[in-house]
Amino acid sequence: GAPGDVNSNVLVARSTGDAQLDKAVWQWLSWDKNQKTKEQIESLLQDGKHGELRDRLCCRLTFGTAGLRSAMGAGFCYINDLTVIQSTQGIYKYLERNFSDFKQRGFVVGYDTRGQVTSNCSSKKLAKLTAAVLLAKDVLVYFFSTYVPTPFVPYAVQQLGAVAGVMITASHNRKEDNGYKVYWENGAQITSPHDKEIIKCIEECVEPWNGSWNENLVDTSPLRQDPLKKICDSYMEDLTKICYHRELNVQSSLKFVHTSFHGVGHDYVQLAFQAFGFQPPIPVPEQKDPDPDFSTVKCPNPEEGESVLELSLRLAEKEGARVVVATDPDADRLAVAEQQENGCWKVFTGNELAALFGWWMFSRWKENCSQDADVRNVYMLATTVSSKILRAIALKEGFHFEETLPGFKWIGSRVKNLLDNGKEVLFAFEESIGFMCGTSVLDKDGVSAAVVIAEMATYLQGQSLTLAQKLVDIYETYGYHISKTSYFLCYDPPTIKRIFERLRNFEGPQSYPKCCGMYNILHVRDVTTGYDSSQLNKKSVLPVSRSSQMITFSFQNGCVATLRTSGTEPKIKYYAEMCALPGLSDRSVLEEELQKLIEALIENFLEPDKNGLTWRSA
């Protein structure tokens, strides 16, 4: 609108009776150049919806486990043109302080296929604005000419020697969301203190600079380069470092079905299979092309299991394919299903897949390592809420296993550190189906994981084994690890805080529970406050993360259970695992014990009825 409109709105805004809100409204209306999001704020103002205006304008985005993530739409705590410009200006400021050669080394920008018509907002447009802010400041920008898998951004940052990179994606979140994921020069997602410092920088320059809105700069600026071909070729070439049985793959008669969940994965998974010598996997036609509405699935998260894999399983049955691989919309995570002897499908959990990957990556290393290779130089990693199966394999085989806080950003940074110290890292994972095979990419990668699973299935078929049979074999060798992960939805932050505060003051002030129902608790670790009863000094070894809630209970019966808040969604998640020693395992007894313990955990610690929590997919 013309300047006159803004002034008339400011007069209305003054009448909200709240100076902070008036200022925020005035800022939004004078800064936002996206007609649709500007109109969203204008109409809230006209309708006197001060509560919603406050929700939208009086708080800022913060870095969670996967960068900035929120719904698309108008407001300073939503993802939109203006907040992406502000974030990029803050990053520019921070990088300029930290790197004298920032402008020459450049910055990588990638994006997925999300979008929202009502806010005139798409990942590609947000990526163009990200690039514009930097190009206007004479920074070399590597802007991908089309959508790419998230792992391509950290990979490109390392390959091109850039100082940092951003991927515009909300991964597997609901279609309303989008996000802004930041990678540092080491190719890992940023961790503290960078995230806190960047937020400070963003707050120092919230007003858009001249040139920040010029999204056409990516088409006109000589400082923009398209890294697509170079990065894609180089990535596929590097992928062959973890290909061990090319000759088997070439001859294989196994058929695979791949679904890309309406996201970016199709072309890249096809190329990855080709790099390993396979016939291309059969794509699910309805889900092969990008669709920001994810119209064939109730939610675009392959973790949800059989319900969202319906189309791919039916296609696989029709085509006689025994294994289905599903990449999530930004192709950084992988779900796998295998048809069993009885015709039913087994959808593997992230923890089960990790057992298979861990066995595979170690046995391939052992078979291919040089005579003087030292197994004590070898590492695998997992986040602390993931299965301890790698710990069991490591103990028996003699390599190292380490844990990190939840979120792949912690794994990426630690792996980089190990590599810099001459260690060899074979595999890392998080239970939410995020896998890192090899170290070409220091983040989870569904494209490489998909083709590694295909090679594993092919190799096992040669031994007349299925993936499911091999999994049982791994558990018999290293001890059964039975785990269950699920969640409750809770849209009320005070309720979440109350649940966790109750656990911290359970039997009186500052005293954690000693038992849960009939189950005795040996140790409690509270990463939010930094307490750990199992340590001599009572301090947690994992770094404190005050911004999120997370408490872990170790039970007398060998079960470990964690309650935490999600870093990306309004969920309280629970994770529980029974670990048995090799040979001491009647699976059904373990499963029953775990189930009863989880029921006690929910009833005593989460109290869903009293707290109004919504059960998963109820």
How is the beta sheet containing 345-347 ordered, strand by strand?
282-283, 256-259, 323-327, 334-339, 345-347
Nearest to 400 by CA among 421, 423, 416, 384: 423
How far is residue 380 CA from its own chain's centroid? 19
The residues facing 335 across adjacent strands are: 326
Residue type, 212: S
How far is residue 474 CA from its own chain's centroid? 27
- CA dist., res. 402 & res. 416, Å (int): 14
Q: Which helix (H) or strand (E) holds 351?
A: helix 350-368
Structure tokens belonging to residue 342: 């009885």
**Catalytic residue list contains 87:** no
Nearest to 105 by CA among 225, 231, 192: 225
DSSP-derived 3-state class of residue 327: strand
Contact yes or no for 294/170 (Cβ under 8 A):
no
The residues facing 12 across adjacent strands are: none
- Residue 605 per-residue DSSP state: I
Structure tokens belonging to residue 516: 């849960």
User: What percentage of the chain's residues is helix, strand, coil (to nearest 5)?
Assistant: 45, 20, 35
Q: Which one of 171, 212, 413, 440 is the catalytic residue?
A: 171
DSSP-derived 3-state class of residue 374: coil
Radius of gyration in angstroms for the set of CA atoms belonging to the chain, rounded to a whole number:
25
- CA dist., res. 21 & res. 17, Å (int): 8
Helices 467-478, 446-462: inter-axial angle, 10-degree rounding? 90
How far is residue 394 CA from its own chain's centroid? 25
Provide CB contacts within 8 A for 258, sequence distance 6+.
265, 266, 269, 270, 281, 282, 283, 284, 312, 324, 325, 326, 327, 450
DSSP-derived 3-state class of residue 334: strand
- CA dist., res. 127 & res. 81, Å (int): 9
End-to-end CA distance of the chain: 46
Structure tokens belonging to residue 428: 């890392």
Helices 467-478, 389-397: inter-axial angle, 10-degree rounding? 60
Biggest distance spanned by C-alpha atoms of the chain: 79
Residues in the chain: 618
Other CB atoms within 10 A of residue 30 CB: 15
Please list the active-site residues.
171
